[in-house]
Amino acid sequence: MDGLLIDSERMIMQACIAAAKEIDITYTQAEYAELIGRAWPDATRIMTKQLGGDDNFQHVMHCINAGLDKGGNVFPLKTGALALLKHYQERDIICGVASSSPISHIEERLSAVGVRDYFTIVSSGHEVENGKPHPDIYLLAMERLQDHVKFAAHECIAFEDSEPGARAAIAANLDVVVVPDLKQPSDFVRENSFKVVESLDHFLKGL
């Protein structure tokens, strides 16, 4: 969701950098990129280490949350997202969300940009034992989609923007389309993906 459907990662990253600067810590885009796609416990552990301790982490998170609350926690859709969702809806192809974010964030952010109704199910990394890059969240999402239509794993396609997310989809034996956001995929992901495209719009135009 974040970084793929919704253009949130850049804004959150800039908020992290600004908040860290307030306490004389230089936080970089490369450091933030390590968090992208990871489940919250993993992201928390990594970021706490990056920032030099829990007090610094709590300061940064307080600033980020205050900024998001002030802005209404609304981020724009990524280019091509709505057109692709409409394309699938018109063809009765069901869609689901498999995001590392909490369920509350998933529901709020999708609803805020008017696309929640395009998704039959949502699944959160908080609902599984192992977050991305493990396949658990995709296995859960497919299990929930199976309640609505029967399909084999090879008939299901995943869209990802992050390295951990792409690796999770590959581990779940899904064809994955990678749309890089803040970080380019590794050689492993490129070699094992169905496609790597510049945007969802580019993917749609190629259908």
The pLDDT assigned to 96 comes to 97
**Angle at alpha carbon of residue 85, lines to 140 and 79, rounded to 5°:** 110
Topology at the third CATH level for domain 81-205: Rossmann fold (3.40.50)
Residue 133, preceding peptide bond in cis (omega within 30° of 0): yes
* DSSP assigned state of 6: B
The identity of residue 128, as a single letter, is: V
The mean pLDDT value for 20-30 works out to 95
| Phi and psi based region of residue 26 (left: phi greater than 0; alpha: psi -120 to 50; beta: remaining) | beta
The pLDDT assigned to 83 comes to 97
Mean pLDDT of the chain: 93
C-alpha to C-alpha distance for 89 and 113, rounded to whole angstroms: 17
Q: Name the pTM for this structure.
A: 0.88
Half-sphere exposure of 89 (CA within 13 A, CB side): 12
H-state helical runs in the chain: 9-22, 29-33, 40-51, 54-70, 81-90, 103-112, 136-145, 163-171, 187-192, 200-205
Residues sharing a CB contact under 8 Å with residue 206, sequence separation 6 or more, in sequence order: 197
Model confidence band, residue 71 (pLDDT cutoffs 50, 70, 90): low
Model confidence band, residue 72 (pLDDT cutoffs 50, 70, 90): low
The mean pLDDT value for 167-196 works out to 96
Cβ-in-10-Å burial (0-12, 13-18, 19+) of 41 comes to exposed
Tens of pLDDT, residue by residue over 143-154, are 999 999 999 888
Q: Is the pLDDT of residue 197 over 90?
A: yes
Q: Is the pLDDT of residue 118 over 70?
A: yes
The pLDDT assigned to 73 comes to 60
Domain segments of the chain as ranges? 9-70, 81-205
73 against 67, higher pLDDT: 67
The mean pLDDT value for 5-24 works out to 92
Model confidence band, residue 174 (pLDDT cutoffs 50, 70, 90): very high
